[in-house]
Amino acid sequence: MNFRYYGGQKKTLELNPRHPLVKKLKERYDEDSEDETTKDIANMLFETATLRSGFILPDTSSFAERIERMMRLSMDIPLDEPVRLRLEMNSLSLSWESCLRYLLWWVMGLDERM
């Protein structure tokens, strides 16, 4: 595939107005066009379409922040709840690498021996 050719072409985002996510997004926008969560969802819709098409996001930091906000909202974690810098695992002391390896294994079913 010639990425240089395709990368220079005009890009088109097509939305299916009957898709449940698009319908709900429109409802939310009609209710309150200034709602930050609605704006985040619209941005995430665009950014995930960008990633699915094989393109790179110019601002991955903002994308990650939006993902974290959406995860917090979906799990009823206050947006202003601080992140603890020290892991507390029932007096079990693990290295950061071991914690990350366990998290990946637990969430994604990956082999913890990576």
37 shares a domain with 77: yes
Domain span at residue 61 reads 14-82
31 shares a domain with 54: yes
Which residue has tokens 């990956």? Answer: 110
State the pLDDT at residue 113.
46
> Of the given ranges (20-34, 55-69, 85-99), which has the lowest mean pLDDT?
85-99
Distance CA 17, CA 41 (A): 15
65 shares a domain with 95: no
Q: What is the pLDDT of residues 7-41, one digit of tens each?
A: 666 777 788 899 999 999 999 999 999 999 999 99
66 near 73, Cβ under 8 Å?
Answer: no
Can you read off the two tokens belonging to residue 37?
């969560």
Distance CA 11, CA 5 (A): 12
104 shares a domain with 75: no
For helices 36-52 and 20-31, the axis angle rounded to 10 degrees is 150
